[in-house]
Amino acid sequence: MAEEETAERRQAELDFVASAYGEEEAWVVEKATGCHVKRRLALAASSSSELGGAENCILTISMPEGYPVDEDAPLGVEAHLCTDSSSSSPDLRKTAINALSSLISECRNVARDHAGGEAVFAVLARADEWVSADWRDIVETVNADTKDVAPTDLATKQENDVGGLVLGRRLIHSHHIIAPSKRKAIVELAQHYNIGGCYKYGWPGIIIIEGKEADCISYVEEIRTLRWQHLVVRGEQHVTVKDRMELEKARMLPNKMQDLGDDMSVIAKQCKETDLEELFLTSMKIYRNEEGKEDRIGEKISNSVDANNHHWRYGALCHVDHMNDAKQYRKWLRKAAAVAGSAIQIKVCDATAKKPIIIVAVVGEEDDVKRFMKRWRTSRVDVDSAGRPCLERMMTVLIEGPLDWEKNFSSMDDVGEDIMAHLDCSDKEEKMNVSEACLTQIVRAIGGPSWSNEFLSMMSSRR
């Protein structure tokens, strides 16, 4: 029976790969040594890069005997460049070769974190994220090096150009912040570099820093040297001031790094109260389409964000029939959403009833939400009546598709406020259990009238 279960769970993941990717993107190879999932990744230079071209990388994920049941049998991960990658420059190929160790290390970390359960989707998601974020950072760093200008020198040049000092801010997004050693390093490095700010631990981890631009650059460089599953700067702001006194007046965050706990709404409130809501929204890949605005002391503030990022405009509203192991089920959902780069909300209505109403809302970029949904359908997220891991067969998607933020909200300020209020990742019971009226409001706030209509229709059918 155990062997049949193992084979069934492995096959479910292989079926997912076949359904989620095209034949040229990912495929399965059966060998005497076991089953291997192959994923083609494109390592391209940025449009402004001096490296030029693109490299094709093949990521190989191997399923050892005992996977996914045995905790001592995590997925194996290797990667290599294709020999037919002739469209790149020698410098780009050299950069890609040197970067492969980072890709392999990150994917292996994910595989180890998910040992004892399905991990193929998580590894593939981390690989895609590495290409879109980490690889981009590597290319940009090489570009800066080729110009013989160090990051701190760039900050000095920026200050010389504007004839004053530059106050910098960064929002750093991590897959998670759990280890006490990392939390200690976040605070100690801030003290060392005279950096202020705050951070949220848990899934995901958020660090917001503020200080002299050169010090912010040094802080980010050093914090990146720690071992992270994923760490990327998603938001960046610069404020030009005349002197040190004005720089101190322009600070909006605490002068010393503050631990704000694991509740996303707390750090969201902190940013809202200090007029840094725009910076907070970058943690969820929401960027405002404006070139700049005036800060509180009348100086120009600019946002350095990736123009390729888009507002979250896709979501899914789901009804879950039951959760036998509710705590672990919710934990799995939150971690899977974090890996996919999406936000999730789980609410329970009529919690004291024999069969409470469980609603799950997930929003993000379309590809991220779709991959999360496919993983949800193909992973063992709950247990059956005998306590054995089982697939989710009684989850109903009430509505899935693009979200129309413009119709739901009168301004981006309203979007930010509702995201902070209604996409809270807290697992606290008093926040998760709500009345039907409250749940209707939350559903409408996230997805608009179309979502609330589907929810109310489902509620009517239960009566």
Percentage of residues in the chain with pLDDT exceeding 90? Answer: 24
DSSP secondary structure, 152-215, as one string = HHHHHHHHHHHTSEEEEEEEEEES-B--HHHHHHHHHHHHHTT-EEEEE-BSSEEEEEEEEHHH
Q: How many CB atoms lie within 10 A of CB 441?
A: 15
Based on its alpha-carbon atoms, the radius of gyration of the chain, rounded to whole angstroms, reads 23
**pLDDT beneath 50, residues of the chain:** 85-86, 146-149, 157, 161-163, 289-311, 406, 409-422, 424-426
CB 269 within 8 A of CB 206: no
What per-residue confidence (pLDDT) applies to 396?
94
Q: Token digits for 373?
A: 């949904």
Phi, psi of 346 (to 5 degrees): -120, 120
Rounded Cα–Cα distance for residues 5 and 3 (Å) = 5
What per-residue confidence (pLDDT) applies to 211?
92
* C-alpha separations of 119 from 59, 67, 304 in Å: 14, 9, 34
Rounded Cα–Cα distance for residues 262 and 439 (Å) = 23
User: 120-129 and 326-339 are packed helices; what angle lies between their axes, rounded to 10 degrees?
Assistant: 30
Give the strand order in the sheet containing 205-212. Answer: 258-259, 196-200, 205-212, 165-174, 231-241, 300-303, 293-294
SS3 content of the chain, % helix, strand, coil (to 5): 45, 25, 30
- Residues contacting residue 202 through CB under 8 Å, at least 6 positions apart: 176, 177, 178, 262, 425
Distance of CA 432 to the CA centre of its chain: 22
The CATH number assigned to the domain with range 314-462 reads: 3.30.70
Pairing of strands 196-200, 258-259: parallel
What per-residue confidence (pLDDT) applies to 123?
92
Rounded Cα–Cα distance for residues 269 and 266 (Å) = 5
What per-residue confidence (pLDDT) applies to 140?
73
Distance of CA 68 to the CA centre of its chain: 24
Which segments of the chain belong to CATH 3.30.70.100?
A: 150-303
Rounded Cα–Cα distance for residues 9 and 3 (Å) = 10
CATH of 150-303, one of 3.30.70.100, 3.30.450.20, 3.30.70.120, 3.40.50.1100: 3.30.70.100
Rounded Cα–Cα distance for residues 43 and 230 (Å) = 18
Q: Token digits for 102?
A: 């980072």
Kindly indicate whether the domain formed by 2-145 is annotated with CATH number 3.10.110.10.
yes
What is the DSSP code (8-state) at residue 132?
A: I
Print burial letters for 110-125: b (CB count within 10 Å at least 16), e (below 16): bbebbeebbbbbbbbb
Pairing of strands 433-434, 343-349: parallel
pTM of the model: 0.46
What per-residue confidence (pLDDT) applies to 186?
94
What per-residue confidence (pLDDT) applies to 425?
46
Bridge partner list, 238: 168, 302
